[in-house]
Amino acid sequence: MKPHLFILFVPFVLSLSVQGQGVTVSAPNNVIPRGDGPTIAAANALKSQPSAISHEDTNTPAPIEPRIITPGPVGGPPSDAIVLFDGKDLSKWKNAKGADATWTLGDGYFEVKPGAGNMFTKEEFGDIQLHVEWMSPSPAKGEGQNRGNSGIYFQGRYEIQVLDSYENKTYFNGQAGALYGISQPLVNACRPPGEWQTYDITFHPAKPADDGKIQPGSISVLHNGVLVQDHTEVAGKTTAASAFKDAAAMGPLMLQDHGHKVRFRNIWVRRL
Ligand code: MG
């Protein structure tokens, strides 16, 4: 036997397996392989893959690389978003009777058509991330709840209030960014009427569980980039003027016709 093939310690236990992207190498810590050939290759594998952990070793799932998506322009839809309004048409929306949405289409936006009723997405959603931009009518008219009122109803059940809350007092859990009647916003981040505003919202519905109880969900809201709802519990109790009762795993998004000409644009959603 050539000297460089000599193995210093016997027995030496070493196994090398490649599964997917993971490499498993095991060897007693006090054994140092000497020589070349498979033994050196295995030692090099051990050296070059110090952080590779297989599920055989840890009983945890093998890591999966996060999907690569292309982020959109600032505020715009990323590549895995469902665009609900791109400024051109209302084809993703319907009215309460299932007919075509008839809200007023403008140049890159649409506007509540008072009396036309609420508008619903044709698609239903569960856990989502939502981006919406909205604008209160200018000049402002009315006071309190009677100024620039609309709303975004998750699953047609839970309203995040849309209201002109710029220098306009109302009850706190009814102002812009409130989970209506349930949770007031952490701060008032409202812009003046006539300016576009953003909501970026993460929503997890309350879901019926197998035991008949309701598993609570949550909602987090950024208003103009400012946190106004921080993982607020969605217990399953629907908010005022909801289109449906009782918790459900899925439901449509609904925009509220409260009789005020609130505008919307750039609406997109990601399923979570
Ligand atoms: Mg409302």
The pLDDT value given to residue 60:
74
- Cα distance between residue 159 and residue 253, in whole Å: 10
pLDDT in tens, 89-132: 999 999 999 999 999 999 999 999 999 999 999 999 999 999 99
Q: Which two tokens stand for residue 233?
A: 């519990």
List the domain boundaries for the chain: 82-271
The CA 161 to ligand 1 mean position distance, Å, reads: 5
The CA 162 to ligand 1 mean position distance, Å, reads: 6
The CA 103 to ligand 1 mean position distance, Å, reads: 16
Task: Please report which residue ranges of the chain form alpha helices under DSSP H.
Answer: 38-48, 55-58
pLDDT in tens, 191-238: 999 999 999 999 999 999 999 899 999 999 999 999 999 999 999 999
Q: Which residue has the tokens 């309190």?
A: 144
Residues with Cβ < 8 Å from 240, sequence gap 6 or more? Answer: 159, 180, 181
The CA 242 to ligand 1 mean position distance, Å, reads: 10
Domain 82-271 -> CATH class: mainly beta
Q: Residue 146 gets which letter from DSSP?
A: G
Phi/psi at 172 (nearest 5 deg)?
A: -65, -40
What is the pLDDT averaged over residues 48-65? 64
Q: Which two tokens stand for residue 143?
A: 């006071």
**pTM of the full structure:** 0.78
Q: Which two tokens stand for residue 159?
A: 């309203």
